[in-house]
A and B are shown apart, each in its own frame.
Chain A
Amino acid sequence: MTILHIPLLILWLLLIPFCIGLLPLRWIPRENRRGGVILVAGYLILLPLCWLVAVPCILFVKYDSFIPMVIIYTVLILIAATAGVCLTLWFWKKGNPILEIPKFSISDWIQNLSWEEKIGWLIFLGLVGFQLYKAFTLASFDGDDAEYVAQSLVTVESDTMYLILPYTGGTTSLDIRHALAVLPIWIAFIGKMTGLHTTILSHSILPFLLLPLTYMVYVEIGRHLLKKKPEQVPGFMILIALLQMFGNVSIYTNETFFLTRTWQGKAVAANFVIPMTILLLLWIFDRKKSQKNSHAAGFWILLCLTNMTAGVCTSMVVFLNVMMIGAAAFWLMVADRKLSILIKAGMACIPNAVYMLLYLFLQVGK
């Protein structure tokens, strides 16, 4: 890895996703349009787009399938990023900006915080910084890396997706169980575009993206739950960060996956997709009546995209997310006495149904 990789990593992991994240902003309420939300939204578009391009290539192109995938995906994400920027500029020129540049500077914001909040945020940022430091300086052994991390490298080095056994290098028939969860392919794509070895990317670089991305979701959950007591949000975040660090009560918890297998699809599903689903359920259903109809469409779109992102990460969470949304929608329906909640939630799970049908179809046809 050289210093030249850094601008490319910033471009592909931050700038382009951020520009893509501008796309759904018009349909998200103003109070939720923050930098972190835009980046998260960018990834919720970027990753499903990867699935939509990679899966047909895997199923229909077979050998050297990674080459057309890279070409088509690059074109699509560049179009999406350009569209995001153009849309923002267009609304800005129309005098109805979708993204307002904050009138106050960061120093004003810091000055407006009480000393307690300042200390709280500093402790929280310190804990996140410590986790990033540990992610960089400690190697964690996990047998599944022989599958997931090697899969990305095989893809880059052979230009073929899911037809070579990552464990040995022997050829195989299409591995359906893993082929629909294309996160290793997205990592291979980033490796290809940045020229970085995908194992370095997975183990040393991606934690710097995935850890903050998860905390951005938790910050939004904290802000929503503690709307009336914003001074408690830093305390909430400190507890969340500590729970991640001290949640290694067994090798199975999502907290353990978060800090030891950060780059694997199941860890992303457990720590990004599931909390994001909870955040969106909060944003959609826990709103004042006056807010209900304003820009909620964006949240529903994001919920559908989150369900699609689950499929990018691991097939199982596609099914699990339906369970969670179903259980939440049932109790919210009881709370609000509205059957429409269950129907709308069911509609948001259509991507999951399509995914599961495709999975079963491919398994049966194998």
Chain B
Amino acid sequence: MYGIFMESVVIFKNYAGSRYIMVLFLLALVYLLIMEKDKRKRALFVYMPLSLLLLFFFPLFRKVFVRLMSGSGDTYYRVLWLIPTGVIIAYGSMKVAGSLEEKLGVWARRGATAVMAIAIMICGKYVYASPYMSPAENLYHIPQKVIDICDLMAPKEGEERIWAVFPTDLVYFVRQYDTDIQLLYGREMVEPKWSYYDPVHEVMNHPTVIKLEALLELTREKHCTYLVLPHNKKISGNPNELGLELLDTIEGYPVYYDPVAAKKMEKAFG
């Protein structure tokens, strides 16, 4: 039980991050606990969050939650979404500002609101500085190179869907743009936490070299007619000699058509 409790502590720490927004929240919560006289508001903004917080750390609850969520505890942090952190901080701040106004006048309230706004900026972390954010290259908000590569291989109206293989850094985006392009492996192989296995991914995911012959053996078996190779790895084997046609190189990614796989598919399906 202690181990489960400590797991919850770690999840809470990860959720709260290294910043001090949670400190602001706790201060606001304590202030409301002492100063909020309305019993219904106390119930909603003091007792309810506190009881949910206690529940979060309660090992038996975590056990039940994990069982209900089909054995996955990865999403346990979402219990913390139920605590109205933002409303409690903002409401607590307004209560402090309001009481200052009664004692010191209207400028004290204005000053307190401004101080609180600055405190939030200092204690928090600016979302637009996140490493996951980048300038949008188009309205799809996916890398333009993916769009250019997909346009190069996409089947025309009325044609059959195609199979393709993409480097791991691009697989997330391909089917957000065009679902007529089917992938031999997708995001499910790329996420290390899921530890699935796919032989094509194993060849493509080699840290330094792509063994083209081994790759083509696998892709031709699966009638995969297009290959996009990584731009930052060595290729062992000559693509031309192995029967590949280079369509284009887009931002360093060579895009190949495989006529051998196309013929194989035609033979199999007519």
Contacts of B14 in A (CB 8 A): 250, 252
Q: Which residues of A lie under 8 Å from residue B137 when comparing CB positions?
A: 139
Partner among B40, B120, B126 whose Cβ is within 8 Å of the Cβ of A286: B40
Measured in the bound complex, the distance between the Cα atoms of B19 and A318 in whole Å is 30
A247 located at the interface, meaning its Cβ lies under 8 Å from any Cβ of chain B in the complex: yes
- Taking the closest CB of chain B, its distance from the CB of A56, in whole angstroms, is 24
Chain B 48-87 interface residues, beta-carbon cutoff 8 Å to A: 48, 51-52, 55, 68-70, 75, 77-82, 84-87
Among the 9-residue stretches B173-181, B229-237, B241-249, B260-268, the one with 4 or more Cβ atoms under 8 Å from chain A is B173-181
Give the shortest distance, in Å, between A26 (CB) and chain B (any CB).
Answer: 26
Q: Is the pair B48, A328 in contact by a Cβ cutoff of 8 Å?
A: yes
A:84-137 near B, CB below 8 Å: 116, 134, 136-137
Q: Looking across the interface, which residue of chain B has its beta carbon closest to that of A114?
A: B106
Total B residues in contact with A, Cβ cutoff 8 Å: 85
Is B39's CB under 8 angstroms from A335's CB? yes
A168 CA to B185 CA in the complex, in Å? 6
0/1 per residue, A151-185, Cβ < 8 Å to B?
00110011000001111111000000100000000
**Is B239's CB within 8 Å of the partner chain A?**
no
**Interface residues of A, dominant DSSP:** helix
Q: Quick check: is B212 within 8 A (CB to CB) of the other chain?
A: no
B90 x A243 contact (CB < 8 A): yes
CB-nearest residue of chain A relative to B124?
A246
Interface: B220 (CB within 8 A): no
State how many angstroms separate the Cβ of A153 from the closest Cβ of chain B: 5
Q: By CB atoms of chain A within 10 A, which of B41, B134, B141, B177 has the most? A: B141
**B113 near A203: Cβ-Cβ < 8 Å:** no
Write out the residue numbers on chain A whose beta carbons fall within 8 Å of the beta carbon of B80: 252
Encoded as 1 (CB less than 8 Å from any A CB) or 0, chain B from 96 to 125 comes to 011000000000011001001100110111
Of B75, B78, B171, most buried by chain A (CB within 10 Å of CB) is B78
Identify whether the interface residues of B are mostly helix, strand, loop, or mixed.
helix
Residues of B within 8 A of A239 (CB): 86, 89-90, 93-94, 113, 116-117, 120
A331–B44 CA distance with the chains assembled, in angstroms: 8
Q: Contact: A334 with B185, CB < 8 Å?
A: no
Q: Are A256 and B127 in contact (CB under 8 A)?
A: yes
CB-based contact B52/A324 at 8 Å = yes
Given A169-B182, A203-B139, CB of A139 within 8 Å of CB of B134: yes
CA distance A121 to B239 in the complex (A): 62
Stretch of A34-42, A43-51, A142-150 that contacts chain B: A142-150
B126–chain A nearest beta-carbon distance, Å: 6
Chain A CB within 8 A of B6 CB: no
Question: In the bound complex, do residue B16 and residue A249 qualify as a contact, i.e. CB atoms below 8 Å apart?
Answer: yes
Q: Which of B15, B43, B85, B137 has the most CB of A within 10 A?
A: B43
Find chain A residues with CB under 8 A from B69 CB: 316
* Residue pair B126, A248 in contact (C-beta under 8 Å): yes
B191 to A, closest residue via Cβ: A143
Known: A250-B17, A316-B69. A150 touches B113 (CB 8 A): no
Give the distance in Å from the alpha carbon of A281 to the alpha carbon of B44 in the complex.
8
Return B222 CB to nearest CB of chain A, in Å. 11
* Contact A248 B130, CB 8 Å, known A169-B161, A275-B84, A332-B40: yes
The answer to whether the Cβ of B253 comes within 8 Å of any Cβ in the partner chain is no
Q: Does A200 contact B (CB under 8 A)?
A: yes
Q: How long is the Cα–Cα vector from A332 to B85 in the complex, in angstroms? A: 19
Instruction: Let me know if A142 and B132 touch, CB within 8 A.
Output: yes
B33 on interface, CB distance cutoff 8 Å: no
Q: Is the CB of A154 within 8 A of B179?
A: yes
Residues of B within 8 A of A301 (CB): none
28 inter-chain pairs at a CB distance below 8 angstroms, sorted by A residue, are: A116-B110, A138-B135, A145-B172, A168-B186, A169-B179, A199-B141, A203-B139, A203-B140, A225-B87, A232-B97, A235-B113, A239-B93, A240-B90, A242-B120, A243-B90, A244-B127, A248-B124, A249-B17, A252-B80, A260-B130, A274-B84, A275-B84, A278-B84, A282-B44, A285-B40, A327-B52, A328-B43, A336-B39
